[in-house]
Structure 1
Amino acid sequence: MTADIETNSNTTNSHTLETQDVKLVDVAIVGGAMTGATLALSLKKLSEKLNRPLKIALIEAHKPGSEHPGFDARSIAIAHGSIFELKRLGLWSKLAHLGTPIENIHISDRGHFGMTELNAEDFHLQSLGQVVELERVGQVLFKQLEASDVQLHCPETLAHVEAQVDCQLLTLNDGTQIKTALLVAADGVNSKVRQAFNLPLEQVDFEQVALVANVETDKPHNNWAFERFTNTGPLAVLPMAPLKGDPRVSLVWALTPSEAERLQSVAKDEFLAELQQAFGFRAGRFTQVGERFSYPLLMSHMPRPIYHRTVFIGNAAQTLHPIAGQGFNLGLRDLVSLLDVVKQRLLAEGEAVDLGSAKLTHTYLKSREKDRFSTMTNVEFLVRGFSNDHWPLVVGRSLGLRLLSWLPPLKVPVARAAMGWKSVS
């Protein structure tokens, strides 16, 4: 089967490109954001550990910028369980200096009596997770990639892919051709690899838009994170490293599409006033806001995130509502499962291993079924349960949050999910 990737009018069609020598690799990864870059580096470390050289290619359309304005970088929370995995992969030591610890999480229901807290010390931990700015992480990961022998094709895009019996044949927009035993799609929700093979994607539209910004406050956050549920959706405030000495936090605010459009365009003072009214003063007074971004909130997933000699991971396999902050954490568990399957095949089959075999891809598929299903189901439940003012749900969720405060043992499963302990239990 062959498939062309849609390109714009300024891009040369793959069939007219000059013929070049074909590069042969064991694994080609399309998409070099956090998940794809982490996988490439982890595969290299695995091959060195097992003394089994692997040829790895990484194709990514954009390089991380060398500089970025202090308010414009998106941030994510890396759960405690994910940090455990990044340490095991030998990567966290390179990223730790970029993290801001989450020591406490305050959860509340706006306008109602329900609230509770999760505290790291209650679980004998230094933190429940770390907040990092994606662009700064990208710069660190790409420096490591450039210092490795990973075949890095960046900035470059996929123009054409052809499924052959013993490989996937990739053609890039610059004419480079790559034959790979295993193709890994880590290229996001609009995956070009998925579209090229016309594979199904199921979506749930929550009819919400996430408004994202970095915000300065008039007092230190003291490593508190906040999740406040409103009738339009959750409002999350995450601690960040100060900028030029000024305390700041990362904001993710779920709104109706019309409200998000309005709040993205109002004057900064008006935006800060409405944010203050919606959130309250637990984080102090909001004093400044950077550039505001927005994106629709959908939950999407591929029913079968595999294809002939192809595996889909991270946002290419599924995207989550940010209500529980589990997007990257679930994607990291994807790549850790893939690494475990690759390791098993390398140890069992040695030099004769076929990393793109149906046995490998189906073993990976089976390893991810339970975690993917339970995580997506739990996230959808949270969104449905906390994004409306239907009074039976209001009473139920408020009572549930209060019970967590009154009966601390009930917090354990909540904390385990928040910290991504599935992978270390």
Structure 2
Amino acid sequence: MNRISTDILISGGGVAGLTAAAAFGSAGFNVICVDPAPPITDGDAAGADMRTTAFLQPSIKVLQDAGLWDRLAPHAADLQIMRIVDAGGAQPDPRIVKDFNAADISDLPFGWNLPNWLLRREMVARLTDLPNVDFRPGVATQSVLTRATEALVTLSDGSRVSARLLIAADGRNSPVRQAVGIPVKTLRYGQKALAFAVTHPGPHGNVSTEVHRSGGPFTLVPLPDRDDQPCSAIVWMERGPEVLRLAALPEAEFEAQMNARSAGLYGPLKLVTPRSVWPIISQIADRFYAERTALIAEAAHVVPPIGAQGLNMSLGDLRILLELAQADRAGLGSRKMLETYNRRRWPEVKARVTGIDLLNRASMMGAQGLRDMRAGALNALYSVAPVRKTLMKAGLGMR
């Protein structure tokens, strides 16, 4: 059986795994990255991921160092203002609107938003420029055996790989995490999310808007114009059965309900992409490492799509892991390195998972009295400038 040695094997070729491959490859490590599903890199192709990712300020240096940001920046839409709208009154109209402006804490926008399918296209292109990165789409991780000096991984193409470090970036049901025996704690909300894109008559003004009523937030995030019309991505969170009902509606009926839920903030919204449905959970692994193995991204933690935290937490994992690898290249994948990674990363992630869980539960409130309490809390937090700025910095991961 063919056996290959490498510095790092990355199991998972989603956005997080591809970013990790580009980052470690750009830093001079030999990398193999595998994923059982070839990436869909055309937004019009069947199965394309219609979600978007907002990269917050601290994530940009990771992308720059990986040689990715120059490819991505021309396609990105700035996120200058985060707008929170409470539409939890008797009628679904905006009753409280609060803007959190990045200019209050920085000369830069909060972040930059891009479609997930486009991220995959540009990331795969970057990997072709790196001779020390071997990307194998359509190849799965079949088995894992670790010992003190290496991780031995058998792949579905018949290869056996000896890696000094195995990185699990293979999703919330991570086969690698299961293989190395790391338990997880999962919270289920009975929610799902619809993801799609719309055009609208007026410009979005680089404003990302969360509309809260019940069931979860209805979030509109700026995208570059589409066919010369202003365009936004939408993530609409609701109770699971309601999402399935909405997903099955004819387009005209869906647009009518979508426009009602948007509180009319952007004028008439026109659906311009397919609708995809995604389950909503919170999840965190009991630890982020095992022998010769590091968990990152959804293999380590999953949060509801609130405040653009998900992938930015994943890039936070990558930043720490890469920093430790570069500081001691001889110790790549050692127990000391991985214990340090876990110590620096797990408590911060746990705090964010807990905070986003609370925000999601608040957004789900259905009883009128509870929705009124939520509106009052938003007013109170926004009214104190130091608190408002602290919340913005915390959301960015700034200290």
Which of the residues 88, 107, 115 maps onto 1:133?
115
| Residue 41 of structure 2 is aligned to residue 41 of structure 1 | no
What CA deviation, in whole Å up to 9, does each residue of 1:17-41 have, x standing for no partner?
A: xx22x11111111112221121122
Moved more, 386-395 or 232-241: 386-395
Which of the residues 84, 89, 92 maps onto 1:107?
84
- TM-aligned CA distance change 1:55 to 1:86, over 3 Å: closer
How much has 1:240 moved relative to structure 2? Answer: 0.9
Which of the residues 34, 37, 60 maps onto 1:83?
60
Which of the residues 16, 22, 33 maps onto 1:58?
33
Alpha-carbon contact 1:168-1:182 (below 8 Å) kept: yes
Q: How does 1:135-174 map to 2 (within 5 A)?
A: 135-149=117-131, 150-174=133-157
Q: In 2, Cα distance between the equivalents of 1:110 and 1:29?
A: 43
How much has 1:311 moved relative to structure 2? Answer: 0.5
- Aligned letter for 2:223? M
Normalised by the length of structure 2, the TM-score is: 0.92
What CA deviation, in whole Å up to 9, does each residue of 1:78-109 have, x standing for no partner?
A: 11222244335543222111211111121012
- TM-aligned CA distance change 1:84 to 1:397, over 3 Å: farther
Provide the residue aligned with 1:370 in structure 2: 347
- Percent of aligned pairs with the same amino acid: 27
Helix, strand or coil at the partner of 1:170: strand
- TM-aligned CA distance change 1:325 to 1:66, over 3 Å: closer
Provide the residue aligned with 1:350 in structure 2: none
- Aligned letter for 1:156? V
Alpha-carbon contact 2:182-2:286 (below 8 Å) kept: no
| Residue 265 of structure 2 is aligned to residue 288 of structure 1 | no
Which of the residues 314, 323, 343 maps onto 1:331?
314
Helix, strand or coil at the partner of 1:179: strand
Measured on the aligned residues, the alpha-carbon RMSD in Å equals 1.9
Q: In 2, Cα distance between the equivalents of 1:156 and 1:85?
A: 26
How much has 1:182 moved relative to structure 2? Answer: 0.9
Alpha-carbon contact 1:181-1:354 (below 8 Å) kept: no
Provide the residue aligned with 2:384 in structure 1: 407
- Aligned letter for 2:231? R
Q: In 2, Cα distance between the equivalents of 1:391 and 1:309?
A: 51
Q: In 1, Cα distance between the equivalents of 2:277 and 2:84?
A: 23
Alpha-carbon contact 2:80-2:207 (below 8 Å) kept: yes
| Residue 259 of structure 2 is aligned to residue 276 of structure 1 | yes
Provide the residue aligned with 1:302 in structure 2: 285
Alpha-carbon contact 1:114-1:399 (below 8 Å) kept: no
- TM-aligned CA distance change 1:66 to 1:314, over 3 Å: closer
How much has 1:359 moved relative to structure 2? Answer: 0.8
Alpha-carbon contact 2:297-2:315 (below 8 Å) kept: yes
- Aligned letter for 1:136? L
What CA deviation, in whole Å up to 9, does each residue of 1:226-280 have, x standing for no partner?
A: 1011211111011111222122211111111111111001111111111111121
Q: How does 1:410-421 map to 2 (within 5 A)?
A: 410-421=387-398
Larger of the two Rg values belongs to structure: 1
How much has 1:393 moved relative to structure 2? Answer: 4.0
Q: In 2, Cα distance between the equivalents of 1:165 and 1:370?
A: 26
Q: In 2, Cα distance between the equivalents of 1:357 and 1:394?
A: 50
- Aligned letter for 2:70? S
| Residue 365 of structure 2 is aligned to residue 388 of structure 1 | yes
Alpha-carbon contact 1:81-1:420 (below 8 Å) kept: yes
Q: How does 1:1-16 map to 2 (within 5 A)?
A: none
Alpha-carbon contact 2:113-2:221 (below 8 Å) kept: yes
- Aligned letter for 1:258? P
- Aligned letter for 1:59? V
How much has 1:392 moved relative to structure 2? Answer: 5.8
Normalised by the length of structure 1, the TM-score is: 0.87
Number of residue pairs matched by the alignment: 391
Alpha-carbon contact 2:282-2:301 (below 8 Å) kept: yes
How much has 1:198 moved relative to structure 2? Answer: 3.8
How much has 1:208 moved relative to structure 2? Answer: 0.7
- Aligned letter for 2:116? L
| Residue 360 of structure 2 is aligned to residue 360 of structure 1 | no
Alpha-carbon contact 1:72-1:290 (below 8 Å) kept: no
Helix, strand or coil at the partner of 2:217: strand
Unpaired segments of 5 or more residues in structure 1? 1-18, 48-53, 347-352
How much has 1:218 moved relative to structure 2? Answer: 2.1
- Aligned letter for 1:236? T
How much has 1:367 moved relative to structure 2? Answer: 0.9
